[in-house]
Every structure is written in structure tokens, then in C-alpha cells.
Amino acid sequence: MSETRQPLVVGNWKMHGSHAVNEQLLEALKAAGPLPAEAAVCVPFPYLAQAAERLARSPIGWGAQDVSVHAQGAYTGEVSAAMLADFGSRYVIVGHSERRQYHGETDQLVADKAKVALAKGITPIVCVGETLAQREAGETEAVVKRQLSAVIHTLGPCVGEMVVAYEPVWAIGTGLTATPEQAQAVHALLRAQLAAASPRAGQMRLLYGGSVKPDNAKVLFAQADIDGGLIGGAALKAEDFLAICRAAA
Ligand SMILES: O=C(CO)COP(=O)(O)O
């Protein structure tokens, strides 16, 4: 973390929740009072209205987990950036490894999604990260560089406005966390790559994701280039999510 970048902690609810369950979680988040990190939740599409309503007049932001590259039209099942903006979304996650893996999203599609989000005033949280096989083959650097490079080329001068999340695929939902040193090493690479493309690289927030919990958040967030986290499982419990937000102090 640096003193010039405000830490950011984002909950990725993935495909979890119901009206009743969300109600309790959102109320607990709203009741938390001031937090040292900016906080936001990225919820399933049907619950955007609920998040917008419950979190209005709170400092906690909300957003979605995917966006269509299309503006409108005959794209059954898709949700446009304008629709997300209509519900006050501040963030949208793009290129999560679960979408790359299960929905065949390519680096270019992810980059295009980041671009349409920015065009509607929504900050894309662009996810990058290697699989275990890629790490073991020594390909981590090449993989994350390739993933980020597509976004840098597509966004051009706007690249400084996005958030990047480094999520090693082998650490997601597994209870395995990258060591602070492993995570910092990748974050430093990403920031160097961004610095070559944008004068804003020093102000950009780079999040770590992958089994972040209340007990490991502080040491991860203490790394020089880790500016917060993208939280899966622990974001579903208000107490844990808030503890992680407080670890950014
Ligand atoms: O995928 C993640 C956040 O986007 C991380 O999930 P977990 O925190 O459950 O490992």
C-alpha cells in the first residue's frame, strides 16, 4: 500500500445470495461506519437494484461481475454498460478467471469489456492471473503480461482509469493464498508494465485476490504495490468483509 493511493476492497459475491440473505449482509455493511478503505460489492445482476437501494447514502459502492461489449440489441442474456450505469454501478469486474475459463473469454474480449465500461463512467476491475500449471512452468510473468497488454492497447490513454486485480487461479476458493512476496512480485511487474503505458500508473490501484481472509489481509495489503483486495468467499460474511476492509488501515 502507498500513502498516495486510497486502498480499495471489493467483494465479488459470484453466484451467491438471495433477497433475504443480501438484505442482512447489505444492512450490516451499511451499519459499519467509516472504513479505512474504499469498499464496494459486485453482486449478481438481479440484485443490483437491491444493492443500489440499500447502499444509497452509504460510502460503499456497488457494481456487477460482467458486462456485454454490445451497446444494445438482439443479444439474449447480455447486460450492457448503460444498464449497469442506470443502476448507479461504480465498478464492474471484467475478465475474472471463472469467465475466462467457463465462458471462453479472450484477452481481447476482456479488453473490449473494460473499454465499454469506462465509456459509461464505470470503473472496470480487470482480472489477470496464472493457473497452477502456468506458474509451475515458469510462465506467470508472460501470462499476466499478455493479459494486461491487451487491455493497455485497447484502452490507450484511458488505461490509468481502470483497477487491476491479480488473482492467481490456483489461489481462488482453494484456501491457498499467494505469499505476500509472490503477490508483491507480480504486482510490481504489473505496475512497471502500466508505467510504460500511463503517467497515472503510480496512482492506479492494484488489488490482490485469492483466498483473502481477515487473518492474511493485513500482511498482503502491507506490500508496496498491493492496494487492497478482490474478495470472494469472505465477502459473503459482513464481519469478515469488514475485517478485511479494516486491515487496510
Ligand atoms: O475470485 C475471487 C475474487 O474475485 C477470490 O475468491 P476467494 O476469495 O473465494 O478465493
167 is catalytic: yes
Max Cα separation, the chain? 48
pLDDT, residue 4, reads 86
With b for 16 or more beta-carbon neighbours within 10 A and e for fewer, the 173-188 pattern comes to eeeebbebebbbbbbe
Residues 135-151 have pLDDT tens digits of 999 999 999 999 999 99
Concatenated DSSP letters for 186-222? HHHHHHHHHHTT-TTGGG--EEEESS--HHHHHHHHT
Kindly tell me if the per-residue pLDDT of 3 is higher than 70. no
Q: Which of 96, 98, 105, 130 is catalytic?
A: 96
pLDDT band at 62 (very low <50, low <70, confident <90, very high): very high
Q: Report pLDDT for 42.
A: 99
Cβ neighbours of residue 197 closer than 8 Å, sequence gap 6 or more: 152, 159
**pLDDT (tens digit, 9 = 90+) per residue, 181-230?**
999 999 999 999 999 999 999 999 999 999 999 999 999 999 999 999 99
DSSP state of 166: E
Extract the C-alpha cell encoding 161. Answer: 482509469
pLDDT tens digits, residue range 101-158? 999 999 999 999 999 999 999 999 999 999 999 999 999 999 999 999 999 999 999 9
Residue of 167, 176, 241 to mutate, ligand 1, most atoms within 8 A of C-beta? 167
Report whether 51 contacts 26 (CB < 8 A): yes
- Examine the pLDDT at 176 and tell me if it is beyond 90: no
Query: Which residues make up each annotated binding site for substrate?
Result: 12-14, 173, 211, 232-233
Ligand 1 center to 209 CA (angstroms): 6
In 3D space, the residue among 37, 46, 123 whose CA is nearest the CA of residue 77 turns out to be 46
- Residues 85, 121: contact at Cβ < 8 Å? yes
Mean pLDDT of 8-34: 97
Tell me the domains of the chain and their CATH numbers. Answer: 8-228+242-246 (3.20.20.70)
The distance in angstroms from the start CA to the end CA of the chain is 10
Q: Average pLDDT, whole number, for the chain?
A: 97
Residues 129, 90: contact at Cβ < 8 Å? no
DSSP assignment of 31-81? TT---SSEEEEE--GGGHHHHHHHHTTSS-EEEES---SSSSSS-TT---H
